[in-house]
A and B are shown apart, each in its own frame.
Chain A
């Protein structure tokens, strides 16, 4: 495993480069196929509204996959991630148009741990609302 960020170079509060990830209905269909999660709340508007959702929503696991990219893109080697957890607090609603929704993710070093590990706390927003809670990754740096 080869992280390209050095433990000695970061401190608590160091911010990782923020990123925005677009998600459209086409993205969701592709993710459904790749992940095997074909729950119709992620592609069928009629079904989604019948079960009380405002519209089709993104897979929570899709949002989780995007959020950790702020960590993996920064550290270089995704194999350096040793722990990762999130709480699904609000759905990402994906309108049926070409723009879809945007997931905006920022992260910063929250704790420096032993063994060159740091805990990164992530914030994921969509349409002005926090969509993940307790989103934390522990990553081993060089």
Chain B
């Protein structure tokens, strides 16, 4: 069944702050096999003009996806989570995420579409640091695949 269009434009309350740790960035960089020292060595990061080690570009998703769960699990919206797949992902960075950041995410439903029985929801996550500075915006497209005919 098509989702309720009245949810378009709805924003959810900002998440509680996520504190970005140097060791978490190291763990993530190692998990994707990336040896760039800017992720692990504060001096290497400073040599490139950063205040501390920075996180790989897709690290922000680990924070924004948790925030998007507010939308996915909103019982009023009624997305069938067991049938949800990740369709698209996009980021626009004001600056890289860095160690020491305390980040909050505000999620907004941008669009809701139904195509061939699939429900497609676009969620925008605005990530801000402790001072309110905008760090990155993440757009996540989720597709709840149509239930198969019995």
Contacts and interface: CB of A to CB of B under 8 A. Distances in A.
A21 B31 CA distance: 12
Nearest to A1: B49
Contact of B88 (A66, A76, A82, A88): A88
B90 A84 contact: yes
Contacts of B28: 34-35
Interface string B83-101: 0011111111101100000
B115 interface: no
Sorting the interface of chain A by its residue count into under 10, 10 to 19, 20 to 34 or 35 or more gives 20 to 34
Contact of A72 (B57, B62, B86, B87): B57
Q: For chain B, what secondary structure do more than half of its interface residues adopt (helix, strand, loop), or is it mixed? A: mixed
Given A37-B65, A65-B32, A85-B139, A2 B49 contact: yes
Contact of B66 (A36, A77, A79): A36
Interface stretch (B9-17, B33-41, B72-80): B33-41
A83 B31 contact: no
Interface in B36-70: 36, 38-39, 47-50, 54, 56-58, 61-62, 65-66
B30 interface: yes
B31 A1 contact: no
Contact of A86 (B24, B33, B88): B88
A30 B30 contact: yes
Contacts of B130: none
B27 interface: yes
B145 to A, nearest CB: 10
Contacts of A66: 32-33
Interface stretch (A5-13, A56-64, A92-100, A110-118): A56-64
A81 B32 contact: no
A62 B47 CA distance: 28
B89 A79 contact: no
Interface of A: 1-2, 21, 27, 30-31, 33-37, 60-62, 64-66, 68-69, 72-73, 76-79, 81-88, 134
Which 7 pairs across A and B sit closest by C-beta, in order of nearness?
A85-B90, A34-B31, A79-B96, A65-B58, A65-B32, A34-B28, A31-B31
